[in-house]
Amino acid sequence: MLDGMTTPRDPVGPGLAALAGLLADETRAGFLLTLLDGRASTAGELARQAGVAPSTASEHLGKLVAGGLLAEERQGRHRYVRLADAGVAQLVEDLAAQVAPGAAERPRTLREAAAGSAMARGRTCYDHLAGRLGIALTDALTGRGLLRQDTGFALTDAGLRWFEAAGIPLDRTGRRPLARACLDWTERRPHLAGTAGAALCRHALDAGWCVRIGSDRAVKVTPDGERAFAELLGIEATALR
Amino acid sequence: MLDGMTTPRDPVGPGLAALAGLLADETRAGFLLTLLDGRASTAGELARQAGVAPSTASEHLGKLVAGGLLAEERQGRHRYVRLADAGVAQLVEDLAAQVAPGAAERPRTLREAAAGSAMARGRTCYDHLAGRLGIALTDALTGRGLLRQDTGFALTDAGLRWFEAAGIPLDRTGRRPLARACLDWTERRPHLAGTAGAALCRHALDAGWCVRIGSDRAVKVTPDGERAFAELLGIEATALR
DNA sequence: CGGACACTTCGGCGCTCACCGAACGATGGC
DNA sequence: GCCATCGTTCGGTGAGCGCCGAAGTGTCCG
């Protein structure tokens, strides 16, 4: 750099580079992907999963928290961290979606293939459902005229009534959009995110329509869930497998 | 890193970090922000604006092109580069929006304040209109029932008819959504992006409703444009200043 | 109160990478 | 054909950063 005599720079440039720098490390990126389900982890847990020393993980977490990407909560001798908000989750999702298309990402080992298959079937994406499950729900909503995708991405009035009838309350007070498209990185198609997507996911888990598999982001549909999805949205059970 | 014995990693992690690494350099971030208007620049021009040696800029451009963020077009001894596609533009926009809220970004010099003011009034954001102008158009469309924002973000049937009546054709064949919300980093509010936003911006420039100011992303509304916006959307001229 | 545990701080190592200047094609104008 | 211009390639340099292990701090439990 020469001096200050250059053309007036965008003030947002350095900030953008600093933010991207937080995501530019493989270990930190792994932390964020691990936390993408919206749940909290401890520092040691993240260190083990990433294969780095606890001291290294501690430094990374410090940077991510300072950068506003993670929120922390100290409980005794534990340090719990989670994504700061839905905006951060969306950002990580967008980046992941941008990178996925190039490499079709074929799995290398059988274990990874099995894990990837479960994830492809159904998983949570921060606070909403993704994978083939998420796509199936989104398609069903769209096919029944409850969600409009041809001119953007929004619930219809019939969609609002459907949520009410299903007993899934929608909080419309916040600034967060009711419906938003989230690009699925395994299906390469948009699925329902936003307040409505979060409410649907929460209700599906609360009502036992879906359960989490292990400690991963993967979820699977229960028999109860198959009945509910068939009854409420006309989804055939075969579409969920 | 120890070896391959660690917990099966997300295959997308390294790719995400690599992509973020491209954005993590201040000079490269500046390039992308400069190109955010969708137009092409030469390598030397970018080098001068960023205040780095031509050789340095050349290396950066090589990385950005290899990473799929920029598309290049060689013409004689010139190397023109531009953003690869709308997805890249959206990504940069999202990152910029994420970073802006933290720092209110008060300008430092009078020149910057003037330039920032013009940008805040109206500008292009890749291929659609942003700034107060973009917000005013989006609000007017919403207020007239042409765009629905309360349950997501989508044009209404009346909106489709409005575009047709205004003589602005909408290409609905591509995979790109017709309407999408793009968060404005000066106004902190969503404005119309996607195919419809691009068509509206293009038409506004073609019809002389707006003209570009200098070589920047900034645009201003012409008297013709004030009349057109008043007639078609009921926007008062004072809202555009 | 002492030991196990979770995390943090610190010093140091090694690698990566942005940067420059100089030399080298390649193109286009005179 | 000659020269200016644009871009690229190449060595070299310096700063930054991710990583570790060792030592230190705070917390919980027996």
Of A42-46, A101-105, A122-126, least confident by mean pLDDT is A101-105
Q: Nearest nt to A56, CA vs C1'?
A: D19
Q: How many residues does chain A have?
A: 241
Instruction: Delimit the domains of chain A by residue range.
Output: 12-84, 107-240
Chain A: nearest CA to B93, how far in angstroms? 10
CATH 3.40.50.1000 correct for B15-84: no
Instruction: Give the residue with minimal CA–C1' separation from C27.
Output: B77
CB-CB under 8 Å, A11 with B103: yes
Q: Is A152 left (phi over 0), alpha (psi -120 to 50) or beta?
A: left
Q: Any chain B CB within 8 A of the CB of A222?
A: no
Q: Which tokens in the block code for residue B65?
A: 């092109």
Q: How far, in Å, is the CA of B12 from the C1' of nucleotide D23? A: 36
Other C-beta atoms lying within 10 Å of the C-beta of residue A166: 16
Angle (CA) B148-B191-A168 rounded to 5° is 45
Q: Using CA coordinates, name the residue in chain A closest to B88.
A: A98
What number is the average pLDDT over the span B86-104? 82
Three-state secondary structure call for residue A70: strand
At A1-16, the pLDDT tens digits run: 333 333 344 678 789 9
CB-CB under 8 Å, B90 with A11: no
At A37-94, the pLDDT tens digits run: 888 999 999 999 999 999 999 999 999 999 999 999 999 999 999 999 999 999 999 9
Q: What is the pLDDT of residue B10?
A: 62
Answer for the pair B81, B65: CB distance below 8 angstroms, yes or no: yes
Residue range A12-84 forms a domain whose CATH class is: mainly alpha
Residue B123: beta bridge partners? Answer: B130, B218
Q: Could you please report the per-residue DSSP string of B86-141?
A: HHHHHHHHHHHHHHTTTS-----SHHHHHHHHHHHH-EEETTEEEHHHHHHHHHHH
Percent of chain A past pLDDT 70, that is, above it, reads 89
| Main-chain dihedrals φ then ψ at residue A228, nearest 5 degrees | -65, -45
> Which of B51, B102, B179 lies nearest to residue A1, judging by beta carbons?
B51
Q: Using an 8 Å CB-CB cutoff, list chain B residues near A30.
A: 9-10, 13
Q: Give residues lining strand C (CB < 7 Å).
A: A 1-2, 42-45, 47, 54-55, 57-59, 61-62, 77-79; B 21, 24-27, 51-53, 55-56, 59-60, 63, 75-77
Q: What is the pLDDT of residue A3?
A: 33
- Between positions 31 and 60 of B, the ones with CB within 8 A of A are 33-34, 48-52
Q: What is the pLDDT of residue A167?
A: 94
Angle (CA) A184-A185-A190 rounded to 5° is 20
- Amino acid identity of A179? A
Q: Using CA coordinates, name the residue in chain A closest to B18.
A: A24
pLDDT band at A203 (very low <50, low <70, confident <90, very high): very high
Q: Nearest nt to B53, CA vs C1'?
A: C20
Other C-beta atoms lying within 10 Å of the C-beta of residue A57: 23
Q: Mean pLDDT, chain A, as a whole number?
A: 88
pLDDT band at B1 (very low <50, low <70, confident <90, very high): very low
Higher pLDDT, B70 or A185: B70
Site of tokens 């790109």? B176
Site of tokens 């340095």? B56
CB-CB under 8 Å, B90 with A94: yes
Q: What is the pLDDT of residue B120?
A: 79
* Distance in angstroms (rounded) separating the CA atoms of residues A90 and A213: 23
At residue A102, does pLDDT exceed 90?
no
Of B4-13, B88-97, B187-196, B228-237, least confident by mean pLDDT is B4-13
Q: Using an 8 Å CB-CB cutoff, list chain B residues near A112.
A: 8, 11
- Cα end-to-end span (Å), chain A: 57
Q: Any chain A CB within 8 A of the CB of B174?
A: no
Q: Any chain A CB within 8 A of the CB of B181?
A: yes
Q: What is the pLDDT of residue A129?
A: 94
Mention every residue, 6+ apart, whose C-beta is less than 8 A from residue B238: none
- Between positions 116 and 135 of A, the ones with CB within 8 A of B are none
* Distance in angstroms (rounded) separating the CA atoms of residues A237 and A231: 11
At A66-79, the pLDDT tens digits run: 999 999 999 999 99
Q: Any chain B CB within 8 A of the CB of A166?
A: no
Q: Using an 8 Å CB-CB cutoff, list chain A residues near B98.
A: 19, 87-88, 91
